[in-house]
Copies of this chain bind each other. A is one copy, B any other.
């Protein structure tokens, strides 16, 4: 993917603006597990994901995590440039959930372009609205869906992202995604196992009946 491919309104930028984006974007590889952005501590810039998987999560004072959304190939990560967005009053941590290759556009460069270009500013608004929608989806899940359905949906999503049925996931990692204690996840997974939906072995959750899991997630 070229830089232009990430911006559907590319043709509405001046050629000077296009060149600034192309010339300042730096291609980087980050290893699985790397924390790319940590709340207000840093402000690396806009991330354009070429391949891989990023996870955005929040952290409670006592160290509990909840995944708020995940970003895939072709997605743009905005909150890694949150310092240039007045109004953002929360801290998100972004880490690579897989080895990831991405373009970085420095925050101050992007800010300057936003000030010049209404199409770019409106497109940035659209990206933020998409992330907002992800978070509203999460609120609906947390408020109105029981944990068994959320866990079922998470396992299916993970299997789809990793393209395997044998998921290398500890119960603690699953708890960190869903914002739930490990013990609660363990209990629910044992229930899934007794229903023949999954098979548990050390550090692995294998989906053995994905039709039943899908039915549960959608119920």
Contacts of A64 in B (CB 8 A): 143-144
User: What separation, in Å, do the CA atoms of A146 and B188 have in the docked complex?
Assistant: 22
Contact indicator B60/A125 (Cβ below 8 Å): no
> A169 at interface (Cβ–Cβ under 8 A)?
no
User: What separation, in Å, do the CA atoms of A90 and B133 have in the docked complex?
Assistant: 6
> A136 at interface (Cβ–Cβ under 8 A)?
yes
> A137 at interface (Cβ–Cβ under 8 A)?
yes
Contacts of A61 in B (CB 8 A): 144
Contacts of A125 in B (CB 8 A): 85, 87, 121, 124-125, 128
> A127 at interface (Cβ–Cβ under 8 A)?
yes
* Minimum distance in angstroms from A145 CB to a CB of chain B: 9
User: What separation, in Å, do the CA atoms of A127 and B129 have in the docked complex?
Assistant: 11
Interface centre among A122, A127, A128, A179 (most CB of B within 10 A): A122
Which 3 pairs between the two chains have the least Cβ-Cβ distance? A87-B129, A121-B121, A90-B136
Give A residues with C-beta under 8 Å from B: 58, 60-61, 64, 66, 68, 85-90, 114-122, 124-133, 135-140, 142-144, 179
